[in-house]
Amino acid sequence: MSTAYFTRAVITQSARIDLACQALAGPGGDQRADAVHDLRLALRALRTVLLFFRGSETADTLRRHLARSYRLSREARELEVALDGLALLQMRHPLALNVDLAWARALQCERSSLLVRLQPDLVSALALLLPFLAGADALLDKRRLRKLARMQAKYLWQKVQGKLRRALKSGKRTHWHAARLAIKRYRSWGVQFAPLLNRRTRKRVKVLSFVQGLLGELNDWGALVQRLQAEEALAKAWRRIIVQRERRLQKVLCRYIRRQVWGVMQAK
């Protein structure tokens, strides 16, 4: 993998951030439903690429700005996920309570203010980006690219193993959530830098794809339960439907991890 790959990756993800911001700035109904999600993906991917420039003060500053932007966008994304979950629930179980209308308004307000809140950090990051790219190639230690990629993959894999074992043992929602985040980081790294990694790591990334999908769905239903609990008019049956769905997902997760993932986890 040439060093040009890293500079191209920085440019590509920066362009994605710009496109997502344009979508978020669109008036009312013109806003893309997945604009916040796209923005978060691009922010996370750009931060990942910049890890290879550790030691550069500019790269570290860029990562801090991007991290703050990512945190600020969390609430809008959670509202999107909750709306999607409620829409699915209502299709299967017609409900009398129109809580989705209130959430839709909340999401609209959140999106409207998102760019205002993100602007200082995004403007600061993009202002640093062009000067940074001009000298980015010289910042990469070409001899250590593969070693750095594999060291980080090993570190992230150890995190995945620990979080999954804890979640399997406890079955708690918070521990499954922590496992999901660990897998997301590992898979993001593995997909983005696959040419620098060995076959074993690429196999782990592939096996964990299904687990990440299930964990994402489990997390979405859990978040929906928490939000719906604040609605006094919510019938207990609604919560029961969602909790039952969560339990079924946990059973599928545990079975798949023990049958398909455990051997991969044990491999050295």
Q: Which of 56-70, 78-92, 110-124 has the highest mean pLDDT?
A: 56-70
**What's the CA gap between 58 and 77, in Å, rounded?**
28
Eight-state DSSP code of residue 49 = H
CB burial of residue 103 (10 Å; 0-12, 13-18, 19+) = middle
Question: CB–CB of 39/20 below 8 Å?
Answer: yes
Average pLDDT score, the chain: 77
| Verdict on whether the full-model pTM lies above 0.95 | no
**What's the CA gap between 180 and 257, in Å, rounded?**
13
**Closest alpha carbon to 47 in 243, 157, 231, 185:** 185
Question: CB–CB of 13/46 below 8 Å?
Answer: yes
Report residue 121 as tokens.
């950090």
pLDDT at position 266, please?
60
Report residue 42 as tokens.
């691009």
pLDDT at position 125, please?
78
| Residue 225 in this model has a pLDDT that exceeds 90 | no
pLDDT at position 159, please?
93
**Closest alpha carbon to 38 in 5, 75, 70, 86:** 70
Average pLDDT over residues 23-35: 62
Report residue 226 as tokens.
């928490």
For residue 199, which amino acid is it?
A: R
Q: Which is more confidently placed, 90 or 23?
A: 23
